[in-house]
Chains A and B, each alone.
Chain A
Amino acid sequence: MKIDYKIEPPVVEGRLSLSQIEELVAKPLETRPDKKFFIAIGISGTALLIGIICVAITLHYGIGMWGNNQPVGWGFGIVNFVFWVGIGHAGTLISAILFLLRQKWRTGIARFAEAMTIFAVICAGLFPILHTGRPWLGGYLFPYPNQHGLWINFTSPLIWDVFAVSTYFTVSLVFWYIGLIPDFASLRERTASKVKKIIYSIFSLGWRHSNRNWLHYEKAYLLLAGFATPLVLSVHTIVSFDFAVSIMPGWHTTIFPPYFVAGAIFSGFAMVVTVLIFVRKIFNLEHIITLNHFDKMNKVIMATGMMVGYAYAMEFFIAWYSGNPFEQFVIINRAFGPYAWAYWIMVTCNVVFPQLFWIKKFRRSIPVMLAIAILVNVGMWFERFVITVTSLHRDYLPSSWGYFTPTLYDIGILVGSFGLFFTLVILFTKTLPVVSISEVKAVAGGAQPSHHGGNH
């Protein structure tokens, strides 16, 4: 394909008019759900039900139902937590960092990615809460004046997690809602149904698309993006601190913070690609979510995949370079010990397969990118599994070495978290505009005054 660098590639394809864009995005909200919708929600609902049953059984008998035991005290609970928090990073990355980098193509996918962030963080939050064994006492995690005169341990990375994840959830929700306000106003003007109009009126807060409001709104969006960017880094950094502040070989290494962040963006983008492929097809959004979008996301996947590969290599090199026998043992054991299978799944899925994206044809081919995105998600799940389990299962005392095997309940809850995630995603596609109407309008062809920013 010949590219002309002189002209800016259009973000919205097919020369859609502003009202056509709105029509297209609002259509799923105005039509009755079809058969495909019920089949999809049936599948995800079943998975969710499996999860609910497993959680109920866990609450009944206690977390002894899970596979984690000495020496692997952190099993699926933490693996799934880190996995889902990681998935949640793409949304804020797309909406905040790409906003700061003035990447206009983000508009088509930002809303959806933000929604995925929120749902992924909900899924992530379940696991540590369940792992505490007494989820109803979760309030103890927050500092409140109590009768013991005690405060929580502010120097514990697990408490940092509580602060980071809850802040992240709140800020993502606010960010998402702020973006939705103009769209609620547009929907309020569109809808014929009285009930919907009341709901949209409440959520639009009376938005009038006034330029005096847009002025502050854009500033607020910039400020929020400015805060969300370091926030998104901090969240996975703090998750990495859970491991890295310990003195466990294989956990304690200084590259963990940026390595985890890169991995989170990597897996998050893979999940966004996976889901968007279907959404784009089902809701006919090919002109708004174009192949160019996927091309760029796949480049990000490839880049972050190589960053993760760099971290794997650095861990290996420094373990050897450090001259620390424990460090060396853990790394060798990872690659060639009983969990070698997991390690090599991780390496092939995260480092080898994304290399296919060097070829432009693959970056723009839906089946190839779907396959790679799913493999990346598998690989990233195994990365967390490898970090958690292989470092623990052979600790300093060879007499207490063991092999971690998940139970049915571990797997059931993992399946359930996927069910919860996809149920929320499917419900979202039918209740809210999956693409930001006002943002996409703003980047459509001819939407901005010609003497400004365009050609002179």
Chain B
Amino acid sequence: MSNSAIEFKAKQIPDTLSKLGLIILAIGVVLGILAFYTDHSRALFNYLIAFMFLLSVGVGSIFLISLEYITGAVWSVPFRRIVEFLASVTILLFILVIPLLLNMHDLFHWTHTEAVAGDEILKGKSPYLNTSFFIIRVLAGLVIWAFFYFAFTRNSKKQDLSQDQHLTTKNIRLSAVFIPIFAITITVSAVDWLMSLEPHWFSTIFGIYFFSGTVLAALAAATLIVVLLKEKGFLHPKIIDDHLYSFGALMFAFINFWGYIAFSQYMLIWYANLPEENFWFLHRWEGGWIVVSILLIIIHFVVPYSALLSQPAKIDPKRLKFASIWIMFAHLFDLYWLIMPNLESEHGYSFSSIDLVFPVSVVGILILVFNYNAKKYNLLPLGDPKLERGLNFRL
């Protein structure tokens, strides 16, 4: 076939977007600082939720990039840039993690030396759960992700000019190495940031549980941007329903996967009913938490499942927009359900307006990160050898 370069001149991203992002972020930051002054520990736990959400989007996006390379998928090539833009959130995590590391004592029960000394089980865990090792693990994870982010995107961007096919081979090899490392790092993150909030609890499936949410969040963020860009005419005209269908189907598949993993975890602990495990769920079944737990099933499974079930729904841009926003919200809600019950409180669940503050900054950050990258780089990986096949993709 012809070697003619694909002709595509992207429209400029309007400046209003960066203003919008800045305004939202500013509001979010101001509100966040206020929140820290009103209720320090509640704000801190909410900050952790926002941090974990951005981690999900960033690291999940790197995983999606590597997945495209390793499976040799073509349909996603025209959108890889958008996923790469989102993946750059990973770099921001280096800054965002600082408040958490400074306030570890308020987050993690196992950092209280006097409590650990009086607890046989926590004493046994202290070779793993101790402050210095924790910080080493967190930083190591961030460095590894950042390395792979830079490696993937550098090759991808270089290709825009050189059209060197060898760079694709390089990235394929890189993804083969990344995926096992990703499995380990994401599990360690899940154990460290989420499971160890309740240091007595343990579940072997927990890493996979967090992984399923991570991929969903990244996928939903990418889908939302793709649909919005397509509607506004920023994307290549050859992008058609078949591409959207793939996004819809993938989100639908991961919704099912999350449901499967969540059910497996709940089912086994519920059935065996061992006191060393079931207290974690019982805690989320007490007082007002029961409403949150049941809402989690509806928000994270029932609604998106029904929204994406039918075949036309997977190509309808309106439905996809709704589903992707909803899934991002659902992932936040999932993190809320995982993290907030660990906040020491006397009378079960109580809602606070602080819980609404931090997602605002998340939206602002995502807009700015996208805007920054979209201005700087091509929206289409023009040099990718698979691009033409990707544009001509048919189901």
The residues of A with any CB-CB pair to B shorter than 8 Å are 3-8, 100, 102, 230, 233, 237, 241, 244-247, 252-258, 303, 306, 310-311, 314-315, 318, 321-324, 358, 452-456
- Check B169 for interface membership: any CB of A closer than 8 A: yes
The residues of B with any CB-CB pair to A shorter than 8 Å are 1, 120-121, 124-125, 128, 165, 168-169, 176, 179-180, 183-184, 187, 191, 200, 202-208, 249, 253, 256, 260-261, 264-265, 267-269, 271-272, 274, 276, 384-386, 388-389, 392, 394-395
The number of inter-chain residue pairs (CB within 8 angstroms) is 100
Cα-based distance from A453 to B238 in the complex (angstroms): 12
Of A100, A318, A456, the contact of B392 (CB 8 Å cutoff): A456
| Cβ A254 vs Cβ B271 within 8 A | no
Q: Find chain B residues with CB under 8 A from A3 CB.
A: 165, 169
Cβ-closest 5 pairs across A and B: A255-B204, A5-B385, A323-B121, A254-B205, A257-B264
Known pairs A102-B395, A247-B274, A257-B264; A323 contacts B388 (CB<8 A): no
Shortest distance from the beta carbon of A245 to any chain B beta carbon, whole Å: 4
| Cβ B204 vs Cβ A253 within 8 A | yes
| Cβ B269 vs Cβ A455 within 8 A | no
Closest to A309 in B: B180
Of B205, B389, B394, the contact of A255 (CB 8 Å cutoff): B205
Of A6, A246, A314, the contact of B389 (CB 8 Å cutoff): A6
| Cβ A241 vs Cβ B267 within 8 A | yes
Shortest distance from the beta carbon of A72 to any chain B beta carbon, whole Å: 21
Q: Find chain A residues with CB under 8 A from B120 CB.
A: 323
| Cβ A237 vs Cβ B264 within 8 A | yes
| Cβ A318 vs Cβ B202 within 8 A | yes
Shortest distance from the beta carbon of A420 to any chain B beta carbon, whole Å: 32
Instruction: List 25 A-B pairs, Cβ < 8 Å.
Output: A5-B384, A5-B386, A6-B1, A6-B389, A244-B272, A245-B267, A245-B272, A253-B268, A254-B203, A254-B264, A255-B205, A256-B264, A257-B264, A257-B268, A306-B183, A310-B187, A321-B125, A321-B202, A322-B202, A323-B120, A323-B124, A452-B394, A453-B394, A454-B392, A455-B392
Q: Find chain B residues with CB under 8 A from A254 CB.
A: 203-206, 264-265, 268-269
Known pairs A310-B183, A318-B202, A323-B121; A244 contacts B268 (CB<8 A): yes
| Cβ A258 vs Cβ B261 within 8 A | yes
Q: Find chain A residues with CB under 8 A from B176 CB.
A: 358
Q: Find chain B residues with CB under 8 A from A247 CB.
A: 272, 274
Q: Find chain B residues with CB under 8 A from A322 CB.
A: 202, 276
Given contacts A100-B249, A241-B268, A455-B392, 9 further A-B contacts (CB under 8 A): A3-B165, A5-B384, A6-B165, A100-B253, A253-B204, A255-B205, A257-B268, A258-B264, A452-B394
| Cβ B1 vs Cβ A7 within 8 A | yes
| Cβ B128 vs Cβ A321 within 8 A | yes
Q: Find chain A residues with CB under 8 A from B124 CB.
A: 323
Q: Find chain B residues with CB under 8 A from A324 CB.
A: 276
Q: Find chain B residues with CB under 8 A from A246 CB.
A: 272
| Cβ A306 vs Cβ B394 within 8 A | no
Shortest distance from the beta carbon of A455 to any chain B beta carbon, whole Å: 5
Known pairs A8-B389, A456-B392; A314 contacts B207 (CB<8 A): yes
Cα-based distance from A344 to B268 in the complex (angstroms): 28
Cα-based distance from A253 to B385 in the complex (angstroms): 45
Q: Find chain B residues with CB under 8 A from A253 CB.
A: 204, 268
Shortest distance from the beta carbon of A93 to any chain B beta carbon, whole Å: 14
| Cβ A255 vs Cβ B208 within 8 A | yes
Closest to A324 in B: B276
Of A5, A257, A303, the contact of B168 (CB 8 Å cutoff): A5
Of B205, B274, B392, the contact of A453 (CB 8 Å cutoff): B392
Q: Find chain A residues with CB under 8 A from B206 CB.
A: 254
Cα-based distance from A455 to B2 in the complex (angstroms): 9
Closest to B391 in A: A456
Q: Find chain A residues with CB under 8 A from B1 CB.
A: 6-7, 455
Of A230, A306, A323, A455, the contact of B180 (CB 8 Å cutoff): A306
Closest to B256 in A: A230
Closest to A311 in B: B204
Shortest distance from the beta carbon of B126 to any chain A beta carbon, whole Å: 11
Closest to A310 in B: B183
Cα-based distance from A233 to B265 in the complex (angstroms): 15
Of A6, A311, A315, the contact of B386 (CB 8 Å cutoff): A6
Most buried by A among B204, B253, B395: B204
Q: Find chain A residues with CB under 8 A from B394 CB.
A: 452-453
Shortest distance from the beta carbon of B188 to any chain A beta carbon, whole Å: 10
Cα-based distance from A187 to B276 in the complex (angstroms): 62
Shortest distance from the beta carbon of A309 to any chain B beta carbon, whole Å: 9
Q: Find chain B residues with CB under 8 A from A7 CB.
A: 1, 389
Q: Find chain A residues with CB under 8 A from B179 CB.
A: 303
Shortest distance from the beta carbon of B387 to any chain A beta carbon, whole Å: 9
Shortest distance from the beta carbon of A364 to any chain B beta carbon, whole Å: 16
Closest to A452 in B: B394
| Cβ B272 vs Cβ A318 within 8 A | no
Cα-based distance from A146 to B125 in the complex (angstroms): 54
| Cβ A4 vs Cβ B165 within 8 A | yes
Q: Find chain B residues with CB under 8 A from A454 CB.
A: 392
Shortest distance from the beta carbon of B265 to any chain A beta carbon, whole Å: 5
Closest to B2 in A: A455
Q: Find chain B residues with CB under 8 A from A456 CB.
A: 392
Most buried by B among A256, A258, A358: A258
Cα-based distance from A8 to B265 in the complex (angstroms): 41
Cα-based distance from A3 to B166 in the complex (angstroms): 9
Cα-based distance from A253 to B271 in the complex (angstroms): 12
Closest to A453 in B: B394
Cα-based distance from A455 to B389 in the complex (angstroms): 8
Q: Find chain A residues with CB under 8 A from B205 CB.
A: 254-255, 257-258
| Cβ B203 vs Cβ A318 within 8 A | yes
Cα-based distance from A173 to B186 in the complex (angstroms): 39
Q: Find chain A residues with CB under 8 A from B271 CB.
A: 241, 245
Shortest distance from the beta carbon of B111 to any chain A beta carbon, whole Å: 17
Shortest distance from the beta carbon of B138 to any chain A beta carbon, whole Å: 17
Known pairs A6-B385, A323-B121; A258 contacts B208 (CB<8 A): yes
Shortest distance from the beta carbon of A238 to any chain B beta carbon, whole Å: 10
Cα-based distance from A254 to B203 in the complex (angstroms): 6
Closest to A256 in B: B268
Q: Find chain A residues with CB under 8 A from B276 CB.
A: 322, 324
Q: Find chain A residues with CB under 8 A from B168 CB.
A: 5
Shortest distance from the beta carbon of A2 to any chain B beta carbon, whole Å: 8
Q: Find chain B residues with CB under 8 A from A230 CB.
A: 256, 260
Shortest distance from the beta carbon of A360 to any chain B beta carbon, whole Å: 11
Shortest distance from the beta carbon of A114 to any chain B beta carbon, whole Å: 21
Shortest distance from the beta carbon of B60 to any chain A beta carbon, whole Å: 18
Cα-based distance from A256 to B124 in the complex (angstroms): 25
Cα-based distance from A453 to B128 in the complex (angstroms): 53
Q: Find chain A residues with CB under 8 A from B384 CB.
A: 5
Shortest distance from the beta carbon of B179 to any chain A beta carbon, whole Å: 8
Cα-based distance from A237 to B265 in the complex (angstroms): 12
Closest to A2 in B: B165
Closest to A328 in B: B124
Cα-based distance from A281 to B213 in the complex (angstroms): 45
Of A4, A102, A252, A303, the contact of B272 (CB 8 Å cutoff): A252
Of B261, B269, B274, B388, the contact of A6 (CB 8 Å cutoff): B388
Q: Find chain B residues with CB under 8 A from A306 CB.
A: 180, 183
Closest to A244 in B: B268
